[in-house]
Chains A and B, each alone.
Chain A
């Protein structure tokens, strides 16, 4: 299949806003899907939420120690940027406005922080936020966003 041949290392991308709304879900390769999209997205958001809370709690140097699970202000405490399993790598970035980008890739991918920053700044902001037809806070499937994103991830081999 063409899609697999051209982007063999990308799996999928999630974009959430601070309210937990999944604004966008993009799949390049995901042979195994066991959950409904809603369940899947909720689980992903929950995973990030808990991980952020745990990583901040375990911070040996940072000063900010709320109770585990206590609400955090965005940008408060430390933040993780990726984890790797034997079958995939999850890379994460969050903007101070609470936009969360999660990129799932092949586990052999290197550091994707710059790539996430690029997707946020040059693709999400330019083609979604600045699209007059987009309503902030709503899920989107903009064609220009999709096309530009597909083009960009091809450079991430």
Chain B
């Protein structure tokens, strides 16, 4: 039995895939944008990660799907919620993790975990775009920036403006009105990041804030957000270039356990 496993995480915005070798080394990974045909996107995510690993499909012995579109990973043998996957992935990268904060394209989760990476409690906002990656997208657009630029720019702020709107739509208008009043876009961006940090903190407080805190999901790649969360929490947050892949990584790890007869 070969022991190469793969995890496919179909998020609301992007598809991630991680291929794990026998020693739990990451052999390959992929990240792609999700379109209308989720089934095909899942296939492509796997193919891309396999190409990255220089492996072919028959060499993978177990595939686990997770994320918002996990039921569209038809070629998988197991489906696990993204909450369990982020917990497992965070535990793998940062074994001291007790709280996972996952800010994705369309929802935000706070997951409290134990020392084995099992979920103890969680809270989430998936009802509304406020405080999610989508909120940043919309506001970046309103300011004429690409979403990838706004984190570093927010770090150059001198005086963050206070963003009072919770609703993404109203925040967009608020941003526009700040611009027309001549506020520095960097200060507005810092205000937006601080506002998300506030919302995230209240979600975290629902499950209990306990270090170490590991920040995952697409928004964890935004250094402005890492800074804002750190400031709001008063403790450093773990981030890694792999943070965005933690769901897929966790899925692969769950698959590995299932394969070796353990509980998934």
A, B assembled together: no
